[in-house]
Structure 1
Amino acid sequence: MILKCTLPILLVLITGCATPQAIHESQDSSPQPDASDTLIERTSALQVLKDAGLMVNDDYSSADYIPNSNETMIIADVRDAPCKMIFRYITTSNGDFWMPNQIGCSP
């Protein structure tokens, strides 16, 4: 009986119950994501207008956020006219939406 108990105890003492070093090394070498390495890509202004349903027939040839507007205003070039359209992001109790705000055309 004593021999049956001593044999497993001797095996545990000799071999140890820790994980082999090779397994630790392979786990430690995996790269960890770093917050500074991940870049958040902002949605283009043209895509924002498409997603909001304001570009059903591809009415605008290009669009950009107005500088210093915190991405709450967009200026878009009208495709078949020498005009520019300004959109403003509006927050209301009924929901948030992009509203056409102003249009300017050159003669």
Structure 2
Amino acid sequence: MNSVYMAYGMLALAIISEVTGSTFLVKSEGFSKIGPSIVVVITFCIAFYLLSQVIKVIPLGIAYAIWAGVGIVLTALIGYFVFRQSLDAAALIGIGLIVSGVMVINLFSNAAGH
């Protein structure tokens, strides 16, 4: 398998791990609940380990832009659907701009390492 495809797969897993950790961060109630707190620590460790492997193949700036952009969108969606947090028009526009930026990087930038 191509190492670039493997790196993007690991980046996807890193993002999922980070978003999972962020979700359980809410559930941990300021690290006052042990179960969710353990999940936070484990998932963030997994996320950062995977990211450390990804940046061996994908440039840091590109990997982090994708990580942050996709992570923000997924976290906002989980906040909306799971925690019933509202998103106003400005939030939706901002999320749209983030998605657009990640798409531009991946579709048009030679720095993305495709």
Which TM class, normalised by the smaller chain length? Answer: under 0.3
Q: Which has the higher contact order (CA 8 A, sep 6+)?
A: 2
Between Structure 1 and Structure 2, which shows a larger proportion of strand residues? 1
Normalized against structure 2, the TM-score is what? 0.23
